[in-house]
C-alpha cells in the first residue's frame, strides 16, 4: 500500500512539474471539510487530503494595475486570471486522473469558480488548503501570501482520500503592522484584522463591499477585476526585486 501511494505521489509531482507549477504541497483537511457541501464531502471520503499547488503571476502584468487603466485591467484579467486558471485546471484534471487510476477518489476544485456570487465563495477555499500545506500564510488582504511570490500567485486544489503526508509546517502571519492592502482598497472591504483560523472571514473581509465595487467596474469598463490589494503587498513587490 505504501509503495502504491509513493508511486502515485511521484506521478502527481511529475505532472505538476511539467505543468510549470511554482509551489505545491499536501495537507490534511479533515478538520475544515465543513467548508464544502455534504455531497462533495461524501465524494472525497472520510480522510480527505488536499493536493495544493500554485502558479506565480507575471510581475509586469500585476505592476501595471497601478495605472488604473482599462488596458491594464484587460491585460491582468487575461494573463493573471484566464491563462493561469486554465493552466491550473488542466493540471488539476491530470492529477485527478492519476489518483483515480490508482484506485483512490479525487475531486478537482476549479481554480476560479464562484458558487456563491454574493459571498465570493468557491467550492473549497484554495488559500485554506495552501495554508494548511505550509505554502504560505493568510494576510490582512485575505489572500494566501507566499515567501516566493507574496500574494502574486493563484492556486488550485485536488481533494482526495489518497493518504499523502504533510511535508511542511504551517506558516504564521508575517504581515506585522503593515496595512498597505487595507489602505489601498477602493471598496473599503478589508477590516485589517489579522487572520485567525477560529474566526469567520466576515470579520476580516466585507464581501458585499468588494462585490459592489466590482459590479460598478464591470458596468463602467466591462471588466470586474481590481487586484490592488494584491499589487501593493510588500511581499509581492519584494519578489519583483529578488526575482
Instruction: Give the total residue count for the chain.
Output: 243
Mean pLDDT of all residues belonging to the chain: 90
Question: What's the whole-model pTM score?
Answer: 0.90
Q: How confident is the model at residue 167 (pLDDT cuts 50, 70, 90)?
A: confident
Q: Could you tell me the sign of the dihedral formed by the alpha carbons of 195, 197, 203, 204, in that order? A: positive
Count of C-beta atoms within a 10 Å radius of residue 218: 12
Phi, psi of 71 (to 5 degrees): -60, -40
Helix axes 84-101, 2-18, angle to 10 degrees: 160
pLDDT at 205 (0 to 100) = 92
What is the per-residue pLDDT across 84-127, written as a single tens digit (0 to 9) for each?
999 999 999 999 999 999 999 999 999 976 544 444 456 788 99
* SS3 category, 239: helix
Listed in sequence order, the residues at least 6 apart from 77 whose beta carbon sits closer than 8 Å to its beta carbon are 223, 225
d(CA 21, CA 50): 16
The vertex-125 CA angle with 237 and 111, nearest 5°, equals 70
Q: How confident is the model at residue 242 (pLDDT cuts 50, 70, 90)?
A: low
pLDDT at 119 (0 to 100) = 46
What is the per-residue pLDDT across 203-219, written as a single tens digit (0 to 9) for each?
999 989 999 999 999 99
What is the per-residue pLDDT across 182-200, written as a single tens digit (0 to 9) for each?
999 999 999 999 998 888 8
d(CA 88, CA 152): 15
The domain spans of the chain are 2-242
Amino acid at each position: 500500500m505504501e509503495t502504491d501511494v509513493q508511486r502515485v505521489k511521484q506521478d502527481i509531482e511529475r505532472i505538476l512539474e511539467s505543468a510549470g507549477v511554482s509551489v505545491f504541497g499536501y495537507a490534511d483537511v479533515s478538520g475544515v471539510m465543513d467548508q464544502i457541501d455534504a455531497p462533495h464531502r461524501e465524494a472525497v471520503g472520510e480522510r480527505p487530503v488536499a493536493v495544493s499547488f500554485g502558479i506565480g503571476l507575471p510581475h509586469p502584468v500585476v505592476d501595471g494595475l497601478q495605472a488604473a487603466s482599462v488596458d491594464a485591467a484587460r491585460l491582468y484579467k487575461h494573463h493573471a486570471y484566464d491563462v493561469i486558471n486554465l493552466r491550473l485546471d488542466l493540471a488539476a484534471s491530470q492529477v485527478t486522473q492519476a489518483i483515480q487510476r490508482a484506485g483512490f477518489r479525487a475531486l478537482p476544485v476549479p481554480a476560479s469558480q464562484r458558487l456563491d456570487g454574493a459571498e465570493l465563495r468557491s467550492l473549497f477555499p484554495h488559500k485554506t488548503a495552501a495554508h494548511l500545506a505550509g505554502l504560505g500564510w493568510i494576510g490582512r488582504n485575505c489572500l494566501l501570501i507566499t515567501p516566493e511570490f507574496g500574494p502574486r500567485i493563484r492556486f488550485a486544489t485536488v481533494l482526495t482520500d489518497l493518504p499523502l503526508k504533510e511535508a511542511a509546517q504551517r506558516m504564521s502571519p508575517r504581515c506585522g503592522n503593515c496595512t498597505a492592502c487595507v489602505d489601498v482598497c477602493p471598496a473599503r472591504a478589508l477590516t485589517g484584522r489579522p487572520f485567525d483560523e477560529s474566526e469567520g472571514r466576515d470579520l476580516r473581509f466585507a464581501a458585499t463591499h468588494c462585490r459592489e465595487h466590482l459590479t460598478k467596474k464591470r458596468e463602467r469598463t466591462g471588466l470586474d477585476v481590481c487586484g490592488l490589494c494584491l499589487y501593493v503587498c510588500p511581499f509581492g513587490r519584494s519578489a519583483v526585486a529578488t526575482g
